[in-house]
Chains A and B, each alone.
Chain A
């Protein structure tokens, strides 16, 4: 079975600063995908960034980047130049045949 653990229930960051959200996972598969999703108060899940396990290079999407450590089964999300609109729940997820999510981290960006 695949599991995802997010050890930070809540985090806060000042606007324009950088914050890192942690995620660890467990899987016996060698081929899988990892994701960070954002869920604002509107409830709609929005894909932030994805990483294919077979790729060693860390994924980057504008202000969002990941630190993927396959051997350690770690997949953290770094948000640079935080904006007020980044305030949301963030979920780490793993996919291999089906999607498994972590419990989430509530991020608050303070002005």
Chain B
């Protein structure tokens, strides 16, 4: 069983640039969630993708967007980078099999550390 992987491990960008982060979900999982974890803080929910569609979103502006592919891997895109976007970006995959309010365990990847200069 392959765990959740993320690439790249680290990334440095400058303000105004665009970035794409990638996540491969655990084998058999169909749902991917993305989180932003600023230094010294807990993760904040960005959005979730299920069957290639956005299925819930946190309090993040539209310049944060995503994709999910038929193999359930996912991308997080951030446009017009700001200094405050510097953070650890975590993705988590799960197998969603029933009602939305039920919980299916999320397995986290190791994260991508993004630095915006």
Residues of chain A whose beta carbon lies under 8 Å from any beta carbon of chain B = 4, 6, 31, 33, 42-47, 50, 91, 93, 95-104
Also in contact, A97 and B42, with CB within 8 A (given A43-B110, A44-B108):
no
Cβ contact within 8 Å between A103 and B42: yes
Which residues of B are in contact with A by a Cβ distance under 8 Å?
Answer: 33, 35, 40-45, 48, 56, 58, 88, 90, 92, 100-101, 103, 105-106, 108-111
The reply to whether B43 and A91 form a contact with Cβ atoms under 8 Å apart is yes
Q: Looking at chain B's contact residues, is the secondary structure mostly helix, strand, loop, or mixed?
A: loop
A4 to B110 CA separation, bound complex (whole angstroms) = 23
| A97 CA to B100 CA, complexed, in Å | 6
Neighbour of A99 across the interface among B40, B45, B111, CB < 8 A: B45
Residue from B45, B58, B90 within 8 A of A45 (CB atoms): B90
Partner of A31 from B41, B90, B92, B101 at Cβ < 8 Å: B101
